[in-house]
Each structure stands twice: as structure tokens, then as C-alpha cells.
Amino acid sequence: MSEPHDPFLQAMDSYKAAVRAKDVDAFLAIYDDDVHVFDLWGTWSLRGIVAWRNMAADWFSSLGTEQVVVSVDEAQTTRIGDLAVGHAVLTYTAMSAEGKELRSLNNRITMALRRTGESWKIFHEHTSAPVDHRSAKAILKRAGDS
């Protein structure tokens, strides 16, 4: 197996494809068994692949006939030996079965990956959004995004 030039971008490509296909197994394939996730949605943190599987299964099943298209902006990676850290701004766009855009939101993501044998796995993920100080609500749209 040839090594990816950028493990973070490779993980992002796999992430986007798995989310669009609502494929829980493909989604989990990029994560280490002992993954620790600080998620933006509903739970302070999730530890281990079983908890992350439950989140993914719940998320994908909640979509019904909708698909989610993920786009990646401002991606940057730092790699030192068998460790890589990447961060980006993700846009999640819900699409109807007919291909109509329903809604979208942005969030920030940071992933830490380590080489395990021949592959790279995410062992830590952190998603976030800035919070408006007056309302204490998350800001889920970047300035300039519609």
C-alpha cells in the first residue's frame, strides 16, 4: 500500500464519501479503536469506537432520504513522523433525494492521526463553532457563507 501524501486530506476524502453514502463502516474505518472525540453536537465527548459507531449510526439514520455533502476549506496539515494534525472548516449541506439543497452549516474540525502499520487512523477529533457572547448560541455560518 502506498502512503498517502497527506494523511489528513486522505482522511477528509474518506470522511466526505462515507458521510454522503451514510456508510457507518466506511466512516469508522478512518478512526482508531480508542478514538476520543470532542463533538459539537449534544455530547461533551465520546470515547472509543463503539460510542463513535453509535453516534454515526444515529446521525445517518436520522437523515432519512436526505444526503449530506461535506466540503472542506482552509485545510492545513502538520506531519512529524508517524503523527499528523490537520484542521479545516467543513460545510455540511443537506440535499433532498431530488438533489435540492435544504440547509447547510459550517463547523471547524481538528483531527490528530497516527500511523498504525500501513494506515493512518484518527485517534482524536475536535469540532467546534464560535459562540455569540450575547446570545450564547453557536455561530454555524461563516461570514460570507449563505
Average pLDDT, whole number, for the chain?
93
**How far apart are the C-alpha atoms of 68 and 18, rounded to whole Å?**
10
Q: What are 67-123's pLDDT values in tens digits?
A: 999 999 999 999 999 999 999 999 999 999 999 999 999 999 999 999 988 899 999
Instruction: Please report, for the domain that includes residue 72, its CATH number.
Output: 3.10.450.50
**Which H helix or E strand runs over 31?**
strand 31-38
End-to-end CA distance of the chain: 41
Give me the amino acid identity at 86: G
Distance (Å) of CA 116 to CA 31, 32, 126: 11, 9, 20
Rounded to an integer, what distance in angstroms lies between the CA atom of residue 22 and that of residue 61? Answer: 8
Total residues belonging to the chain: 146
- The grid coordinates listed for 115 are 500511523
In a domain, 1, yes or no: no
The radius of gyration of the chain's CA atoms, rounded to the nearest angstrom, is: 15
Domain assignment present for 62: yes
> Per the domain annotation, does 141 fall within a domain?
no
Kindly report, residue by residue over 110-124, the tens digit of the pLDDT: 999 999 888 999 999
80 lies in some domain: yes
Domain interval for residue 110: 7-128
